Amino acid sequence: MPSSTSSSEHPTIRVVPDHPWGRLTLIVAIGVALAVSGWEWHCRARGYEPGLDDTSDLWVEARRSVQSDSTVIIGSSRSLFDLDLDLLEKGLGRRPVQLALVGSCAYPMLRHLADDPTFHGTVICDIVPSLLLVPSMAPPYKNAEKAIRRYQTQTWAQRSGQLLSLPLEYTFGAMQQDDLTLSALLRDLPIPDRPKAQVGPRLPPCFSTIDRDRRTRMKERVLTDQVLRDRIKFGWPPLFTPPPKPSWIPDAAYADFMGKLFNGRFDEMAKAVADLRARGARVVFLRLPNSGELHELESRLTPRAAVWDRLITATGCPGVHFEDHEELTGFECPEWSHLSAADSVTFTTRLTPILAGLLAPATP
């Protein structure tokens, strides 16, 4: 008796509709090409150009190049923009690995290197006080953790995807992950605040280019486009201003929390530095230039004595504060937070001998 569940005796016959599939494929291909070309033209008209995105996978590529005795740069976007790797390589004897991250706290990265038993090189740590003191649940802290987690968990598929994406990023200006993804475009909609739905500050638009080794340069357009420059400038104060105290938290409890966070971060930094030094590593802190209203805001919210001076004392590390060296002062950041491409070369030329002196082996 034939099985009632078997389909072998009654094969299903699929009939392919009789359509001009070749012509339909050509029409779809032309439509896609026109749509991509139109979007690319629109993005180019808005000032976007082909170039690399500073993705977590690009950062992981740099992190994998770190050797046991490497010189590593960590911190925020200021060291990405302000430090020229070619000049540092020439002055320090080897090319630093650029591991700084846009809008990130320096501590998780310092702790990450301290937890790497193979690393005993040199750390050049860029300090932005307001970013250093953020709590562990804040975006600047999470940004650093996200990159570290990608390094620890990156799959072969993700590594392959990074390599495959490079030719596309070098070809299309529309491939900008920070500005031109759907989620980023939706965040840019001018939606006003509403009760229980407060809109956060807008992030500055893409205004830089980045190399394969993550050397970042400000676009020349920033120097000539006042509208763009003002949009970037006036985007910084809301981002650097801490949120108000939640109304439901008592003043005493909030003050206690902030005090523990403030004091605890210096203890954490000192412990990470001590762990690095125990393996023979060296750490130098940098305070890079800022200008205008942002400089005034940072000086008011995070006074030098309360943050920079205390950090140097707590860790016992050498530090280079731009205001302490006449040759490092006088630089004007076009958008208040970063040096122009030309000024970054001049600044690094002047900074490198200072760093070389601090990192030179002690004479017996």
What DSSP line would sit under 164-230, residue for residue? HHHHHHTT-TT--TTTSSHHHHHHTS-PPPBTTBPPPPPPPPP-EEE-TT--EEE-THHHH-HHHHH
Alpha-carbon Rg of the chain, whole angstroms? 25
**Residue among 79, 78, 99, 125 at smallest CA distance from 291:** 78
Residue 56 pLDDT greater than 80, yes or no: yes
Tell me the per-residue pLDDT of 258-299, one tens digit each, with 9 for 90 and over.
888 889 999 999 999 999 999 999 999 999 999 999 999 999
Average of pLDDT values for 32-53?
Answer: 79
Q: Which residues pair with 284 in a beta bridge?
A: 124
pLDDT, tens digit, for every residue of 226-242? 988 988 998 888 888 88
Q: Please compute, for residue 337, the number of CA atoms within 13 A of its CA located in the half-sphere on the CB side.
A: 27
| 98 DSSP 8-state letter | E
Reply yes or no on whether the pLDDT at 364 is more than 50.
Answer: no
pLDDT in tens, 126-153: 999 999 999 999 999 999 999 999 999 9
- How much is the mean pLDDT over the chain? 87
User: For residue 363, what pLDDT is reported?
Assistant: 47
Mean pLDDT over 198-209 rounds to: 67
- Whether residue 174 contacts residue 39, with contact meaning beta carbons closer than 8 Å, is answered with yes
> Does position 208 have pLDDT exceeding 90, yes or no?
no
pLDDT at 124: 98
Which domains occur in the chain, in start order?
Answer: 56-187+203-359 (3.40.50.1110)
User: Which band of pLDDT confidence, cut at 50, 70 and 90, is reported for residue 319?
Assistant: very high
What is the full DSSP assignment across 302-357?
S-TTTTHHHHHHHH---EEEGGG-GGG-----TTSSS--HHHHHHHHHHHHHHHHH
Q: What is the pLDDT of residues 273-282, one digit of tens each?
A: 999 999 999 9
Angle at which helix 156-169 crosses helix 56-64, to 10 degrees, equals 110
3-state DSSP helix/strand/coil percent for the chain, to nearest 5? 50, 10, 40
Strands 216-218 and 208-210: antiparallel
CB of 269 closer than 8 Å to CB of 314: yes
pLDDT value at residue 273: 97
Cα dihedral 330→335→336→341 (10° resolution): -50
What does the pLDDT average to over 242-259? Answer: 82
Residues contacting residue 145 through CB under 8 Å, at least 6 positions apart: 108
Residue 206 in this model has a pLDDT that exceeds 60: yes
For residue 123, what are the β-bridge partners?
72, 283
Please check the confidence at residue 189 and state whether its pLDDT lies above 80.
no
Q: How far is CA 349 from its chain centroid?
A: 23
The pLDDT tens digits for 79-89 are 999 999 999 99
**156 pLDDT above the threshold of 50:** yes
